[in-house]
């Protein structure tokens, strides 16, 4: 078996040359194993959650949203930032599913955890699998900015896998989530996935 391991090399100095609304940039002078030092710039990110919501017809709930940095409208799954330090990621995922799709789910599992770009960002993402989906009660969340222009759809899992492998779909959480779900279905099954409250060392949380 292979497994990532926690390790922290010494930092001689650190600064934060930029702090934005949600993220920032940090510059660390890191001591290398040979005794030398190297400067590393990286994005400081609060972390994110994403939800692959699977209905009874094996379709995945997807959204199409404009992403300015890449100048594309991308098909994605519901996702959002961990806005509150120590926030329970399951609660954040349930909130995002409600706000972006006005949907609730009965069964939640951890599908996969990942770092989006560990060479340049400390962003950690937990992707949940949500099943037993249905329309949520109450008023719809008032969308704004890019979310006001979102399209919604339900797409068969097989079509998402095909689109990912064909280079037609590019969103990290959608591609990773679809391939992970396909792997789980062809492997030990969905009941073997981790429980929704499984520990997440990258973003420790309280119950």
Catalytic residue positions, numbered? 147
* Cα distances (angstroms) measured from residue 23 to each of 41, 48, 138, 163: 13, 12, 32, 30
Burial of 169 (0-12, 13-18, 19+ CB in 10 A): buried
DSSP 20-52: -SS-EEEEEEEEPTTS-EEEEEEEE---EEEEE
Tokens linked to 114:
């990942």
Nearest-10 crossing angle of helices 172-186, 157-165:
120
Contact 197, 207 (CB under 8 A): yes
Tally Cβ neighbours within 10 Å of residue 151. 10
Give the sign of the dihedral formed by CA 95, CA 100, CA 101, CA 102.
positive
Report the distance separating Cα 93 and Cα 106, nearest Å: 13
């Amino acid at each position: 078996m292979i497994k990532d391991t926690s390790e922290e090399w010494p930092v001689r100095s650190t600064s934060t040359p930029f702090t934005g609304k949600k993220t920032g940039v940090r510059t660390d002078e890191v001591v290398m194993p040979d005794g030398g030092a190297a400067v590393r710039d990286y994005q400081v990110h609060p972390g994110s959650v994403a939800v692959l919501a699977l209905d009874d017809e094996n379709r995945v709930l997807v959204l199409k949203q404009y992403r300015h940095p890449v100048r594309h409208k991308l098909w994605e799954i519901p996702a959002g930032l961990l806005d509150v330090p120590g926030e329970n990621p399951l609660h954040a995922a349930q909130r995002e599913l409600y706000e972006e799709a006005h949907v609730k789910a009965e069964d939640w599992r951890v599908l996969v955890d990942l770092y989006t770009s560990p060479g340049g960002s400390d962003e950690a993402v937990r992707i949940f699998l949500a099943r037993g989906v249905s329309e949520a009660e109450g008023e719809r969340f008032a969308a704004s900015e890019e979310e006001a222009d979102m399209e919604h759809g339900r797409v068969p899992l097989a079509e998402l896998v095909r689109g990912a492998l064909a280079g037609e779909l590019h969103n990290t959480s959608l591609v990773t989530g679809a391939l992970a779900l396909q792997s789980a279905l062809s492997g030990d099954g969905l009941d073997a996935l981790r429980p929704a409250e499984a520990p997440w060392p990258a973003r420790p949380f309280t119950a």
